[in-house]
Chains A and B, each alone.
Chain A
Amino acid sequence: TQLLEQSPQFLSIQEGENLTVYCNSSSVFSSLQWYRQEPGEGPVLLVTVVTGGEVKKLKRLTFQFGDARKDSSLHITAAQPGDTGLYLCAGFQGGSEKLVFGKGTKLTVNP
């Protein structure tokens, strides 16, 4: 059983469209992180959310941490081909130092 469930698994959209991807769990996380990974490269951290209900914006990307700290979402406005990649959510549970990853959402933005 995957501790962090990401949906959808695959998403293919046209340039200019908006999209939201989700990261859900039945467990509480002390913090959640979102990473973006391109083919042949390692994941790159986009954001860390720590407080329940927290919203963070990074240009056209908006990240939200659920009030109960069990889920998170990533919303992209006016997607561009450069946004193409695998989006991974990851979290630390309680005092654990182990980072748990979801399986990711593979996003393709077509020009």
Chain B
Amino acid sequence: DSGVTQTPKHLITATGQRVTLRCSPRSGDLSVYWYQQSLDQGLQFLIQYYNGEERAKGNILERFSAQQFPDLHSELNLSSLELGDSALYFCASSPTGRGAHEQYFGPGTRLTVT
């Protein structure tokens, strides 16, 4: 158990819909990272938040957005869903936001868009 929690574990929805994925970091960790894992692309970095502020952005689509709240939990919002958005979405946390540090991954949310 990494100490990072993600809900829900599974999500099935239809194209065009909007969903929200939730992540609670390890106690004391200030950084939250979101990743998308698909069979063809592997694990792709989406976005990082540090202590409530956006710190780094990866290959995140404009239809996707995220935020980190004062209690440090984070939400990833996915809208106008397409079949290709079906993937595993992972959240990771770390104590700091800089340098070669260990990231602790949650168990993931499996999103299926039908």
Which residues in A have some Cβ–Cβ distance to B below 8 Å?
Answer: 2, 30-31, 33, 40-45, 48, 50, 88, 90, 92, 96-104
Contacts and interface: CB of A to CB of B under 8 A. Distances in A.
Interface of B: 2, 4, 33, 35, 41-45, 48, 55-56, 58, 90, 92, 97-100, 102-108
Contact of B106 (A2, A42, A48, A101): A42
B55 A97 contact: yes
Given A42-B108, A48-B100, A48-B102, A88 B43 contact: yes
A3 to B, nearest CB: 11
Q: Which 4 pairs, one residue from A and one from B, show the smallest C-beta to C-beta distance? A: A42-B105, A31-B100, A103-B42, A101-B43
A103 B42 CA distance: 5
Contacts of A33: 100, 102
Contacts of A103: 41-42
A82 B70 CA distance: 40
B34 to A, nearest CB: 12
A99 B45 contact: yes
Contact of B45 (A42, A44, A45, A100): A100
A40 B45 contact: no
Given A31-B100, A97-B98, A98-B58, A43 B43 contact: yes
A96 B98 CA distance: 9
Contact of B102 (A45, A88, A97, A101): A45
Contacts of B2: 42, 44
26 contacts: A30-B100, A31-B100, A33-B102, A42-B4, A42-B105, A42-B106, A42-B107, A42-B108, A43-B43, A43-B90, A43-B105, A44-B2, A44-B105, A45-B104, A48-B102, A88-B42, A88-B43, A90-B43, A97-B48, A97-B97, A97-B98, A97-B99, A99-B103, A101-B42, A104-B42, A104-B43
